[in-house]
Structure 1
């Protein structure tokens, strides 16, 4: 039996129109649709954002896209995104952790389990203490 292959929730440089979208996602996706992650706040990083999970699941929302990879591109895309996000399972030096979370499709309100790269614990502590919160949870809108 094949392991599940959840879609990806992207909220920063991988969104359509952003610099890493074409580099990593063009030709590898079957669908891209607006979605949101609740229970997280968005912080500005050095040229890219961090989603930071919060204790109260009802607090905060991060806006982005739910990206479904083409089946034949899934493994390659997962590895490429892990490299982009400098994520290695179990490495305490990670800036991001790849976690499975429910995200909500904007079109119909349905929940979908997806991979999300969130701030690693040490990074999240630093951002909560002295990071720049992106009001409204939409990195692209905040940059306009």
Structure 2
């Protein structure tokens, strides 16, 4: 990890959000700050009990989530735990891929770089062929399922 990537916050949009089942297991007690945030230019898709994010240039597409800053002393452990949870592989073939992207903090609207877990190649191809779009872009508001 390069120095410019060290300590990047995470943009979470599904079960890792506050109150989500994976937040309690993997992030609780490690967070220094949690802020509502939006990932513009991406679409949220239903998965088997969890969502997938796919980059999508359709106007107005965005994903609602949280920007989570991890305490420095807990960062390496959190990064390893999230990469494992998301089955993120170094060769880019995992269930998810971790990418550095700009997200917009809701209060103030300032962009911040963050780690975002996007659907991996196989899941992305499947979702582009057979979309399972969550139109609201919000995993906690899936009224359009």
Size of the aligned set, in residue pairs, is 141
Structure 1 segments of 4+ aligned residues over 4 angstroms from their partners: none
- Which runs of 5 or more structure 2 residues have no equivalent in the other structure? none
Native 8 Å contact 2:92 2:120 kept in 1: no
Q: 2:100 maps to which residue?
A: 100
**SS of aligned partner of 2:108:** coil
Q: 1:35 maps to which residue?
A: 37
- Which runs of 5 or more structure 1 residues have no equivalent in the other structure? none
- Structure 1, residues 86-134: CA drift from partner, whole Å, max 9, x if none? 1111142x11000000000001100000000001122111112113110
TM-score in terms of structure 1 length = 0.92
TM-score in terms of structure 2 length = 0.92
**SS of aligned partner of 1:101:** strand
Q: How far does residue 57 in structure 1 lie from its aligned partner after superposition?
A: 7.3
Distance 1:131 1:45 in 2: 10
RMSD (Å), alpha carbons? 1.6
Q: How far does residue 17 in structure 1 lie from its aligned partner after superposition?
A: 1.1
Higher share in helix: 1
